[in-house]
Amino acid sequence: MRFSNSKLNAIFNCPMSYHLRYDLGINPVVKSKALDLGSAIHWGIEHNTDNLNEYYESESSRKVLESKRDEQALAEVIVKYYIDNEDEILKNLLKDVIIEERFHELEIVCKLESKIEIEGSNEFVGIIDYLLYTNKGFIIIDYKTSSDIPKYEKYLQQLLCYCMLINGEFPGIPIYKIAVVNFLKSKTKRKPNETIENYKRRLRNEYIDDNIFVNIYNGELILQEKIESYKNNLSKQCDVALQIVQFCNRFNNYYINYNTVNDYGGNVYKPLFDKQKDAYVMYTVKDKWVDDNDKIIDTRYMLPIDIDAIYDGMIICRYKDFLIFNKDILEKNKSLLEVKNHMKNINLKFEEGMIDIYYKIYQEERNKENEK
Protein backbone atom coordinates (compact mmCIF):
# COMPACT_ATOMS: atom_id res chain seq x y z
CA MET A 1 0.00 0.00 0.00
CA ARG A 2 1.20 3.53 -0.73
CA PHE A 3 1.22 5.93 2.22
CA SER A 4 1.86 9.63 2.73
CA ASN A 5 1.96 11.82 5.82
CA SER A 6 -1.61 13.02 5.25
CA LYS A 7 -2.87 9.47 4.65
CA LEU A 8 -1.23 8.15 7.82
CA ASN A 9 -2.66 11.02 9.87
CA ALA A 10 -6.14 10.33 8.50
CA ILE A 11 -5.97 6.60 9.27
CA PHE A 12 -4.75 7.07 12.84
CA ASN A 13 -6.88 10.12 13.70
CA CYS A 14 -10.20 9.17 12.11
CA PRO A 15 -10.61 6.13 9.80
CA MET A 16 -13.90 7.50 8.42
CA SER A 17 -12.09 10.64 7.27
CA TYR A 18 -9.57 8.42 5.49
CA HIS A 19 -12.39 6.44 3.86
CA LEU A 20 -14.20 9.56 2.65
CA ARG A 21 -11.10 11.17 1.19
CA TYR A 22 -9.04 8.30 -0.17
CA ASP A 23 -11.60 5.58 -0.92
CA LEU A 24 -14.61 7.64 -1.96
CA GLY A 25 -12.81 10.72 -3.29
CA ILE A 26 -14.92 13.20 -1.30
CA ASN A 27 -13.25 16.56 -0.66
CA PRO A 28 -14.43 19.92 0.67
CA VAL A 29 -15.26 22.56 -1.94
CA VAL A 30 -13.51 25.23 0.12
CA LYS A 31 -10.15 24.44 1.68
CA SER A 32 -9.14 25.99 4.98
CA LYS A 33 -7.85 29.50 4.37
CA ALA A 34 -4.35 28.79 5.69
CA LEU A 35 -4.03 25.64 3.61
CA ASP A 36 -5.30 27.26 0.43
CA LEU A 37 -3.04 30.32 0.78
CA GLY A 38 -0.03 28.07 1.28
CA SER A 39 -0.98 25.92 -1.72
CA ALA A 40 -1.40 29.02 -3.89
CA ILE A 41 2.04 30.30 -2.88
CA HIS A 42 3.57 26.89 -3.63
CA TRP A 43 1.92 26.85 -7.06
CA GLY A 44 3.12 30.35 -7.95
CA ILE A 45 6.72 29.65 -6.94
CA GLU A 46 6.71 26.31 -8.78
CA HIS A 47 5.39 27.93 -11.97
CA ASN A 48 7.54 31.06 -11.52
CA THR A 49 4.59 33.44 -11.83
CA ASP A 50 2.68 35.79 -9.57
CA ASN A 51 -0.41 35.54 -11.81
CA LEU A 52 -2.44 32.99 -9.86
CA ASN A 53 -5.63 33.15 -11.92
CA GLU A 54 -5.08 29.65 -13.30
CA TYR A 55 -4.58 28.20 -9.81
CA TYR A 56 -7.68 29.78 -8.29
CA GLU A 57 -9.87 29.04 -11.31
CA SER A 58 -8.88 25.37 -11.23
CA GLU A 59 -9.35 25.04 -7.48
CA SER A 60 -12.66 26.84 -6.96
CA SER A 61 -16.03 27.55 -8.45
CA ARG A 62 -16.83 31.08 -9.62
CA LYS A 63 -18.99 31.60 -6.54
CA VAL A 64 -16.10 30.70 -4.26
CA LEU A 65 -13.66 32.82 -6.26
CA GLU A 66 -15.48 36.00 -5.26
CA SER A 67 -14.81 35.29 -1.60
CA LYS A 68 -11.12 34.58 -2.31
CA ARG A 69 -10.12 37.69 -4.19
CA ASP A 70 -8.40 39.18 -1.13
CA GLU A 71 -6.55 35.93 -0.48
CA GLN A 72 -5.43 35.75 -4.10
CA ALA A 73 -4.15 39.33 -3.93
CA LEU A 74 -2.07 38.50 -0.85
CA ALA A 75 -0.74 35.29 -2.40
CA GLU A 76 0.27 37.12 -5.58
CA VAL A 77 2.11 39.83 -3.65
CA ILE A 78 3.99 37.20 -1.58
CA VAL A 79 4.92 35.15 -4.64
CA LYS A 80 6.14 38.17 -6.60
CA TYR A 81 8.23 39.38 -3.68
CA TYR A 82 9.79 35.94 -3.23
CA ILE A 83 10.52 35.40 -6.94
CA ASP A 84 12.08 38.85 -7.27
CA ASN A 85 14.20 38.47 -4.13
CA GLU A 86 14.90 34.74 -3.84
CA ASP A 87 18.69 35.06 -4.02
CA GLU A 88 18.71 37.65 -1.25
CA ILE A 89 16.21 35.72 0.90
CA LEU A 90 18.26 32.50 0.63
CA LYS A 91 21.72 34.10 0.74
CA ASN A 92 22.76 32.52 4.07
CA LEU A 93 21.63 29.13 2.83
CA LEU A 94 23.47 29.38 -0.50
CA LYS A 95 26.53 31.43 0.40
CA ASP A 96 29.06 28.59 0.03
CA VAL A 97 27.58 26.48 -2.81
CA ILE A 98 27.16 26.41 -6.56
CA ILE A 99 23.68 25.39 -7.68
CA GLU A 100 23.78 22.85 -10.51
CA GLU A 101 20.09 21.91 -10.76
CA ARG A 102 16.76 22.95 -9.22
CA PHE A 103 13.67 20.80 -8.64
CA HIS A 104 10.24 22.17 -7.66
CA GLU A 105 7.51 19.97 -6.16
CA LEU A 106 9.56 16.80 -6.62
CA GLU A 107 7.58 13.63 -5.85
CA ILE A 108 9.65 10.70 -4.57
CA VAL A 109 8.48 7.19 -3.64
CA CYS A 110 10.40 5.05 -1.16
CA LYS A 111 9.89 1.33 -0.44
CA LEU A 112 9.63 0.33 3.22
CA GLU A 113 10.42 -3.01 4.81
CA SER A 114 7.43 -4.67 6.43
CA LYS A 115 7.37 -6.89 9.52
CA ILE A 116 4.05 -8.46 8.50
CA GLU A 117 3.18 -10.68 5.57
CA ILE A 118 1.80 -8.54 2.76
CA GLU A 119 1.60 -8.73 -1.00
CA GLY A 120 4.27 -6.53 -2.53
CA SER A 121 5.61 -3.90 -0.14
CA ASN A 122 4.58 -0.75 1.65
CA GLU A 123 5.58 2.48 -0.06
CA PHE A 124 5.81 6.02 1.17
CA VAL A 125 5.43 9.03 -1.09
CA GLY A 126 6.42 12.61 -0.34
CA ILE A 127 6.64 15.84 -2.30
CA ILE A 128 9.62 18.09 -1.65
CA ASP A 129 8.81 21.76 -2.20
CA TYR A 130 12.23 22.84 -3.44
CA LEU A 131 15.32 20.69 -3.91
CA LEU A 132 18.66 22.16 -4.94
CA TYR A 133 21.46 19.96 -6.28
CA THR A 134 24.73 21.73 -5.51
CA ASN A 135 28.45 21.04 -5.67
CA LYS A 136 28.30 20.03 -2.00
CA GLY A 137 25.18 17.89 -2.11
CA PHE A 138 21.44 18.44 -1.81
CA ILE A 139 19.76 21.35 -0.08
CA ILE A 140 16.16 20.61 0.93
CA ILE A 141 13.80 23.58 1.31
CA ASP A 142 10.26 23.35 2.65
CA TYR A 143 7.79 26.23 2.33
CA LYS A 144 5.43 27.03 5.20
CA THR A 145 2.76 29.70 5.71
CA SER A 146 1.68 30.86 9.16
CA SER A 147 0.09 33.73 11.04
CA ASP A 148 2.98 33.94 13.52
CA ILE A 149 6.60 32.83 13.64
CA PRO A 150 6.37 29.04 14.17
CA LYS A 151 8.27 26.71 16.44
CA TYR A 152 10.49 25.19 13.80
CA GLU A 153 11.14 21.99 15.74
CA LYS A 154 7.60 20.86 14.95
CA TYR A 155 8.68 20.36 11.32
CA LEU A 156 11.60 18.07 12.15
CA GLN A 157 9.80 14.78 11.47
CA GLN A 158 8.62 15.99 8.07
CA LEU A 159 12.15 17.08 7.17
CA LEU A 160 13.59 13.72 8.26
CA CYS A 161 11.04 12.14 5.94
CA TYR A 162 12.41 14.20 3.04
CA CYS A 163 15.96 13.16 3.96
CA MET A 164 14.87 9.50 3.90
CA LEU A 165 13.26 9.93 0.48
CA ILE A 166 16.36 11.64 -0.94
CA ASN A 167 18.65 8.91 0.42
CA GLY A 168 16.50 6.27 -1.24
CA GLU A 169 16.21 8.03 -4.59
CA PHE A 170 19.78 9.36 -4.81
CA PRO A 171 22.02 7.01 -2.81
CA GLY A 172 25.55 8.26 -2.40
CA ILE A 173 24.74 11.95 -2.78
CA PRO A 174 24.97 13.74 0.60
CA ILE A 175 22.32 16.03 2.04
CA TYR A 176 24.20 19.24 2.75
CA LYS A 177 21.55 21.46 4.34
CA ILE A 178 17.84 21.55 5.14
CA ALA A 179 15.75 24.64 5.74
CA VAL A 180 12.23 26.00 6.09
CA VAL A 181 11.16 29.22 4.38
CA ASN A 182 8.23 30.57 6.36
CA PHE A 183 5.86 33.18 4.90
CA LEU A 184 3.97 35.25 7.44
CA LYS A 185 0.46 36.19 6.37
CA SER A 186 -0.13 39.91 6.21
CA LYS A 187 -2.49 41.47 8.74
CA THR A 188 -3.34 44.21 6.24
CA LYS A 189 -7.05 43.97 5.38
CA ARG A 190 -8.77 45.38 2.32
CA LYS A 191 -10.74 48.54 3.10
CA PRO A 192 -14.40 48.94 2.16
CA ASN A 193 -14.72 49.94 -1.52
CA GLU A 194 -10.95 49.56 -2.02
CA THR A 195 -10.11 48.03 -5.40
CA ILE A 196 -8.02 44.88 -5.58
CA GLU A 197 -5.22 46.75 -7.37
CA ASN A 198 -5.06 49.44 -4.68
CA TYR A 199 -5.13 46.74 -2.03
CA LYS A 200 -2.24 44.92 -3.71
CA ARG A 201 -0.34 48.21 -3.92
CA ARG A 202 -0.70 48.69 -0.17
CA LEU A 203 0.37 45.09 0.45
CA ARG A 204 3.46 45.55 -1.69
CA ASN A 205 4.42 48.63 0.31
CA GLU A 206 3.93 46.84 3.62
CA TYR A 207 5.05 43.29 2.80
CA ILE A 208 8.79 43.61 3.22
CA ASP A 209 11.37 40.90 3.93
CA ASP A 210 10.60 41.06 7.67
CA ASN A 211 7.64 38.80 6.83
CA ILE A 212 9.76 35.99 5.35
CA PHE A 213 11.95 33.90 7.63
CA VAL A 214 14.52 31.25 6.68
CA ASN A 215 15.35 28.68 9.34
CA ILE A 216 18.45 26.57 8.62
CA TYR A 217 18.56 23.44 10.76
CA ASN A 218 21.55 22.14 12.67
CA GLY A 219 23.58 19.60 10.68
CA GLU A 220 23.09 16.99 13.43
CA LEU A 221 19.53 16.53 12.20
CA ILE A 222 20.71 14.89 9.00
CA LEU A 223 23.09 12.36 10.55
CA GLN A 224 22.54 8.97 8.88
CA GLU A 225 21.61 7.17 12.09
CA LYS A 226 18.79 9.64 12.74
CA ILE A 227 17.43 9.17 9.23
CA GLU A 228 17.58 5.35 9.59
CA SER A 229 15.85 5.52 12.97
CA TYR A 230 13.09 7.61 11.42
CA LYS A 231 12.72 5.14 8.53
CA ASN A 232 12.43 2.14 10.86
CA ASN A 233 9.75 3.85 12.93
CA LEU A 234 7.87 4.91 9.79
CA SER A 235 7.89 1.29 8.57
CA LYS A 236 6.18 0.22 11.80
CA GLN A 237 3.59 2.99 11.47
CA CYS A 238 2.76 1.90 7.93
CA ASP A 239 2.40 -1.74 9.02
CA VAL A 240 -0.11 -0.76 11.71
CA ALA A 241 -1.96 1.61 9.37
CA LEU A 242 -2.25 -1.15 6.75
CA GLN A 243 -3.79 -3.52 9.30
CA ILE A 244 -6.31 -0.86 10.37
CA VAL A 245 -7.37 -0.31 6.75
CA GLN A 246 -7.61 -4.04 6.08
CA PHE A 247 -9.77 -4.55 9.17
CA CYS A 248 -12.08 -1.65 8.28
CA ASN A 249 -12.40 -2.91 4.70
CA ARG A 250 -13.11 -6.47 5.75
CA PHE A 251 -15.93 -5.57 8.12
CA ASN A 252 -17.02 -2.32 6.41
CA ASN A 253 -16.34 -0.68 9.74
CA TYR A 254 -14.85 2.78 9.15
CA TYR A 255 -15.61 4.59 12.37
CA ILE A 256 -15.68 8.29 13.28
CA ASN A 257 -13.26 9.31 16.00
CA TYR A 258 -15.27 12.08 17.64
CA ASN A 259 -12.35 12.83 19.99
CA THR A 260 -10.47 14.37 17.06
CA VAL A 261 -13.36 16.03 15.22
CA ASN A 262 -13.15 19.21 17.28
CA ASP A 263 -9.36 19.38 17.56
CA TYR A 264 -7.58 22.58 16.54
CA GLY A 265 -8.51 23.31 12.95
CA GLY A 266 -11.51 20.99 13.15
CA ASN A 267 -12.37 18.19 10.76
CA VAL A 268 -13.46 19.11 7.24
CA TYR A 269 -15.97 16.25 7.27
CA LYS A 270 -17.79 17.31 10.45
CA PRO A 271 -20.94 18.45 8.54
CA LEU A 272 -21.14 14.96 7.01
CA PHE A 273 -20.52 13.29 10.37
CA ASP A 274 -23.31 15.38 11.91
CA LYS A 275 -25.55 14.65 8.90
CA GLN A 276 -26.29 18.33 8.53
CA LYS A 277 -29.05 19.20 6.12
CA ASP A 278 -27.65 20.12 2.71
CA ALA A 279 -24.10 19.19 3.81
CA TYR A 280 -23.56 17.72 0.36
CA VAL A 281 -23.21 21.22 -1.17
CA MET A 282 -19.92 21.60 0.72
CA TYR A 283 -18.12 18.75 -1.07
CA THR A 284 -17.00 17.40 -4.41
CA VAL A 285 -16.75 13.76 -5.48
CA LYS A 286 -14.28 12.02 -7.78
CA ASP A 287 -16.49 10.85 -10.62
CA LYS A 288 -16.84 11.11 -14.39
CA TRP A 289 -19.17 14.02 -15.14
CA VAL A 290 -19.77 16.78 -17.67
CA ASP A 291 -19.31 20.48 -17.00
CA ASP A 292 -21.38 23.42 -18.25
CA ASN A 293 -19.51 23.26 -21.56
CA ASP A 294 -20.29 19.55 -22.04
CA LYS A 295 -16.65 18.68 -21.40
CA ILE A 296 -15.99 15.40 -19.59
CA ILE A 297 -14.39 16.05 -16.20
CA ASP A 298 -13.26 13.85 -13.29
CA THR A 299 -14.96 15.65 -10.41
CA ARG A 300 -18.54 16.68 -9.69
CA TYR A 301 -20.36 18.31 -6.82
CA MET A 302 -21.71 15.94 -4.19
CA LEU A 303 -25.39 14.96 -4.38
CA PRO A 304 -27.81 13.90 -1.60
CA ILE A 305 -27.66 10.29 -2.75
CA ASP A 306 -23.91 10.21 -2.08
CA ILE A 307 -24.59 10.82 1.61
CA ASP A 308 -27.21 8.06 1.61
CA ALA A 309 -24.65 5.73 0.11
CA ILE A 310 -22.10 6.48 2.85
CA TYR A 311 -24.40 5.75 5.76
CA ASP A 312 -26.92 3.27 4.34
CA GLY A 313 -24.40 0.85 2.87
CA MET A 314 -25.80 1.10 -0.63
CA ILE A 315 -23.75 1.04 -3.82
CA ILE A 316 -21.92 4.31 -4.41
CA CYS A 317 -23.47 6.05 -7.42
CA ARG A 318 -20.52 6.60 -9.73
CA TYR A 319 -19.82 6.22 -13.42
CA LYS A 320 -17.70 3.14 -12.75
CA ASP A 321 -20.68 1.47 -11.04
CA PHE A 322 -22.94 2.49 -13.92
CA LEU A 323 -20.59 0.62 -16.28
CA ILE A 324 -20.44 -2.47 -14.07
CA PHE A 325 -24.21 -2.86 -13.62
CA ASN A 326 -25.01 -2.10 -17.25
CA LYS A 327 -22.11 -3.93 -18.89
CA ASP A 328 -24.19 -6.44 -20.89
CA ILE A 329 -26.82 -4.06 -22.21
CA LEU A 330 -24.30 -1.34 -23.02
CA GLU A 331 -22.24 -3.79 -25.05
CA LYS A 332 -25.41 -4.63 -26.97
CA ASN A 333 -25.79 -0.94 -27.80
CA LYS A 334 -29.12 -0.60 -26.04
CA SER A 335 -30.91 2.76 -25.90
CA LEU A 336 -30.96 5.16 -22.96
CA LEU A 337 -34.57 4.16 -22.21
CA GLU A 338 -33.61 0.48 -22.04
CA VAL A 339 -30.72 1.32 -19.72
CA LYS A 340 -33.06 3.26 -17.43
CA ASN A 341 -35.52 0.39 -17.33
CA HIS A 342 -32.71 -2.01 -16.48
CA MET A 343 -31.55 0.23 -13.62
CA LYS A 344 -35.11 0.37 -12.31
CA ASN A 345 -35.45 -3.42 -12.47
CA ILE A 346 -32.30 -4.08 -10.43
CA ASN A 347 -33.42 -1.47 -7.89
CA LEU A 348 -30.31 0.72 -7.93
CA LYS A 349 -30.87 4.29 -6.80
CA PHE A 350 -29.52 7.22 -8.78
CA GLU A 351 -30.29 10.94 -8.64
CA GLU A 352 -32.52 12.34 -11.36
CA GLY A 353 -30.42 12.99 -14.45
CA MET A 354 -27.41 10.89 -13.39
CA ILE A 355 -28.15 8.03 -15.78
CA ASP A 356 -28.57 10.49 -18.68
CA ILE A 357 -25.15 11.99 -17.97
CA TYR A 358 -23.42 8.66 -17.50
CA TYR A 359 -24.97 7.30 -20.70
CA LYS A 360 -23.80 10.39 -22.59
CA ILE A 361 -20.25 9.98 -21.25
CA TYR A 362 -20.26 6.30 -22.22
CA GLN A 363 -21.35 7.11 -25.76
CA GLU A 364 -18.69 9.81 -26.14
CA GLU A 365 -15.91 7.62 -24.77
CA ARG A 366 -16.98 4.69 -26.95
CA ASN A 367 -17.00 6.91 -30.04
CA LYS A 368 -13.49 8.15 -29.22
CA GLU A 369 -12.33 4.57 -28.79
CA ASN A 370 -13.84 3.57 -32.12
CA GLU A 371 -12.13 6.48 -33.87
CA LYS A 372 -8.77 5.14 -32.76
Do β-strands 283-290 and 2-3 pair in parallel, antiparallel, or remain unpaired?
Answer: unpaired
Q: How far apart are CA 23 and CA 14, in angstroms?
A: 14
Domains of the chain: 2-244 (3.90.320), 275-371 (no CATH)
What was the pLDDT predicted at 32?
Answer: 56
Tell me what pLDDT residue 349 has: 75
pLDDT tens digits along 190-248: 999 999 999 999 998 887 767 899 999 988 878 889 999 999 999 999 999 999 999 99
The enclosing H or E element of 175 equals strand 175-184
Helix (H, G, I), strand (E, B) or coil at 321: helix
Residue type, 37: L
Neighbours of 54 (CB within 10 A): 12
CA-wise closest residue to 75 among 32, 31, 33: 33
Per DSSP, the residues of 10-24 read HHHH-HHHHIIIIIS
Of 179, 160, 133, give the one whose Cα is nearest residue 232: 160
pLDDT digits (tens, 9 = 90+) for 332-372: 999 999 999 998 888 777 888 999 999 999 999 999 888 87
Q: Is the pLDDT confidence value at 187 over 50? A: yes
pLDDT for res 354: 93
pLDDT tens for 275-294 read: 888 999 999 999 999 988 89
Looking at residue 174, the DSSP 8-state letter turns out to be -
pLDDT, tens digit, for every residue of 39-52? 999 999 999 999 99
d(CA 247, CA 265): 28
Q: Residue 149: what residue type?
A: I
Helix (H, G, I), strand (E, B) or coil at 350: coil
Question: CB of 171 within 8 A of CB of 208?
Answer: no
C-alpha to C-alpha distance for 222 and 173, rounded to whole angstroms: 13
Task: Give the Cα separation of 163 and 33 in Å (integer).
Answer: 29
Instruction: Looking at the chain, list the stretches that DSSP marks H as alpha helix, in order from N- to C-terminal side.
Output: 5-13, 15-18, 33-46, 53-59, 62-67, 69-89, 91-94, 156-169, 196-206, 224-251, 258-261, 270-273, 304-312, 319-325, 327-331, 336-345, 354-371
Confidence of residue 3 (pLDDT cuts 50, 70, 90): very high
For residue 150, count CB atoms less than 10 angstroms from its CB and return exposed for 0-12, middle for 13-18, buried for 19 or more: middle
State the Cα–Cα distance between residues 244 and 23, nearest whole angstrom.
Answer: 14
Provide the mean pLDDT of the chain: 89
The whole-angstrom separation of Cα 279 and Cα 283 is: 8
Share of the chain above pLDDT 90, in %: 65
CB 296 within 8 A of CB 290: yes
- With contact defined as beta carbons under 8 Å apart, do 281 and 274 qualify? no
Residue pair 178/139 in contact (Cβ under 8 Å)? The answer is: yes
pLDDT band at 59 (very low <50, low <70, confident <90, very high): low
CA distance 303 to 9: 27
Judged against a pLDDT cut of 50, whether residue 61 lies above it is answered with: no
**CA end-to-end distance (rounded Å), the chain:** 34
